[in-house]
Amino acid sequence: MTKFIVFTTPRTGSTLLVKSLDTHPEIFCAGEVFLLGGTSFHGECSFRFWKLPVSNKLIYMLNFPNMWLNLKSFLNRFFTARNGEHAKGFKLMHFQTAYLPGIIDYIKKNDVKVILLLRENLLKNTLSDLRARHTGIYHNNGKTTEKLPKFHVDTTMLGKKMADINSINKQLEQTTASMNRLTIAYEDFDNWDATISKILNFINVKDIPLAPVSKKLNPSKLEDMIENYDEMKNWLQQNKYAHFLD
């Protein structure tokens, strides 16, 4: 059985990928098993945190011994085939490695394949995140993009977040450089069938067509999404980010 993770950052299409892979008859693919509140997708696989009436940040800190003692056994149990799966994996967000002592070492030593999912267009990655936070809608849940309101972009926040995402992407690439990885870009989903075929071959399962389980939430034209589009466009041009508008 192939063990794998989808290693990624927010707003890269990871939920679409994870849920689509899970429809394959030979694959079990869970969501974020290391979420404090438990993953909403295959929640039975979630790591059991010690719960205390304190802030989430403090809970993660207090759970450090719990994770240190139990992470390896948890992962060993997770990566045990129970229903004849040929491949089994979950989604790991970059920030979760900060409170999961030993997980990188585990991945390297236990032949866990890594699907590194990034988004090349830093602008659209950032805008997708900002809009999701603004509307509270993170995935396509049946509402049309026309019903979602335009939002005002704070260019100072935009620049800071673009720089942060760029830095995180470089960290992810560096962290996984020595791993058995396949790098996929969000933009590759435009050629869905070929991209899915590449992933299925990477994790050693039957190469069959998989339909995407959802559609993109945000409109293709940024003008239909950004309230102060002209202001943002001028800022991008002045700060050498205009190529991301293409």
CA-nearest of 116, 93, 121 to 36 is: 93
Domain ranges of the chain: 2-245
Element (H, E) at 129: helix 122-135
The mean pLDDT of 47-75, rounded to a whole number, is: 90
Output the CA angle 100-98-19, nearest 5 degrees.
Answer: 70
pLDDT tens across 123-145, in order? 999 998 888 887 766 665 554 44
Res. 148: pLDDT tops 80:
no
- Looking at the DSSP bridge assignments, the partners of residue 115 are 6, 182
Band (60; pLDDT cuts 50, 70, 90) = confident
- Predicted pLDDT at 147: 64
Biggest alpha carbon distance in the chain? 55
- Predicted pLDDT at 144: 47
- Predicted pLDDT at 141: 53
The mean pLDDT of 169-188, rounded to a whole number, is: 97
Selecting from 3.40.50, 3.20.140, 3.30.300, 3.90.175, what CATH number does the domain 2-245 have?
A: 3.40.50
pLDDT tens across 159-178, in order? 999 999 999 999 999 999 99
The mean pLDDT of 70-77, rounded to a whole number, is: 96
State the first-to-last Cα distance of the chain, in angstroms, to the nearest integer: 41
pLDDT tens across 194-231, in order? 999 999 999 999 999 999 998 776 777 899 889 999 99
Query: Taking the model in full, what pTM does it have?
Result: 0.91
The DSSP call for residue 153 is -
Q: Tally helices (H) and strands (E) across the chain.
A: 8, 5
- Predicted pLDDT at 146: 52
SS3 content of the chain, % helix, strand, coil (to 5): 50, 15, 40
Computed on alpha carbons and rounded to an integer, the radius of gyration of the chain in Å comes to 19
pLDDT tens across 40-57, in order? 799 899 999 988 888 888
Instruction: Count CB atoms within 10 A of the CB of residue 60.
Output: 17
Res. 243: pLDDT tops 70:
yes
Element (H, E) at 162: helix 155-175
- Looking at the DSSP bridge assignments, the partners of residue 27 are 87
Res. 37: pLDDT tops 60:
yes
Greater model confidence, 61 or 91: 91
